[in-house]
Amino acid sequence: MKKLRELSHQIFGDGYSKWIFLLPSLILLAFFALPLVALMYRSIAPDFLVNALSRQAFQALKLSLITSSITTLVAVILGTPLAYLLARWKFKHKAWLELILDLPIVLPPSVAGLALLIAFGRRGMFGSLLSELGIGIPFTTAAVIMAQVFVAAPLFVRSARIGFSHVDKQLEESAYVEGATQWQLFYEVMIPIAIRALASGAILTWTRALGEFGATILFAGNLEGVTQTMPIAIYIGFERNLGVAMALSVVLILVSVILLTITKQLDKEEE
């Protein structure tokens, strides 16, 4: 045992010890980077622009941008009050509420899609009521947005909540002393302080919504221009025209890189 320690000391000691950290890190980083590099490399072909600008690609990009933007808007409008409530209020069974919010983040999207179908499908628990009113959700753009909100909105709530809970308690109290109403406190004190957390949460939600696939294909199906978002066009295109699928993938990677860079910048300013 002692000998082993000596041996390991000889190998990893002094100038070598850093490799204990460097080597595994390099392996993992290479594993993340190589597939993306390979995809970019192989998509560079004369017909890249033709594929990236094809009608199907354009339709899918347009639908993806519209639906993910609406999803982000819904997440902000409904999620901000919820995050505020979770950060500032104390009440019974709060832990259960938090569990409901965390579940969509960890659940496989296919489970989310199936659950949405069972709830809001034409024969679903609530869907059957809606269909009596003449409202059908599956196979519509609304279904795409619902699937995205289900999997992506919790990310915004989570980030916004952390933002709100970092606001100094004393600041809140002094605002009350000054005679501020709940709304004034929220709008004039909390929002300005938490704005970066809100923004980075919104971008996270947007990125996640842009990449949503599993719940969408189960709940909304696949129809060009109506429910065929970019990830679905990539999946379907993979079987018909690899070029279109790769071009779309590269576009998605670029969009994601841009959005993540903005989030990074926001986080940096926060510090």
**Of the residues 97, 105, 235, 259, which one makes contact with other proteins according to CB under 8 A:** 235
Using an 8 Å Cβ cutoff, are 71 and 209 in contact? yes
Please tell me whether residue 207 binds other proteins under the rule CB under 8 A. Answer: no
**Of the residues 6, 9, 23, 94, which one makes contact with other proteins according to CB under 8 A:** 23
Please tell me whether residue 223 binds other proteins under the rule CB under 8 A. Answer: yes
Identity of the residue, 98 or 224, whose beta carbon is nearer to other proteins in the bound complex: 224
Using an 8 Å Cβ cutoff, are 131 and 122 in contact? yes
Site string for other proteins, 128-167 (x = CB under 8 A): --------x-xx----------------------------
> How many residues sit close enough to other proteins to count as binding (CB under 8 A)?
26
Q: What are the backbone angles phi and psi of residue 168, rounded to the nearest 5°?
A: -60, 130
Please tell me whether residue 15 binds other proteins under the rule CB under 8 A. Answer: yes
Please tell me whether residue 221 binds other proteins under the rule CB under 8 A. Answer: yes
Please tell me whether residue 88 binds other proteins under the rule CB under 8 A. Answer: no
What spatial distance separates the first Cα and last Cα of the chain, rounded to whole Å?
Answer: 47
| Subset of 41-80 contacting other proteins (CB under 8 A) | none
Site string for other proteins, 89-128 (x = CB under 8 A): ----------------------------x---xxx-----
**Of the residues 59, 165, 222, 256, which one makes contact with other proteins according to CB under 8 A:** 222
- Centre a 10 Å sphere on the Cβ of residue 152 and count the other Cβ atoms it contains: 26
Identity of the residue, 27 or 44, whose beta carbon is nearer to other proteins in the bound complex: 27
For other proteins, the binding residues (CB under 8 A) are: 11, 15-16, 19, 23, 117, 121-123, 136, 138-139, 217, 220-224, 226-227, 235-236, 238-240, 242
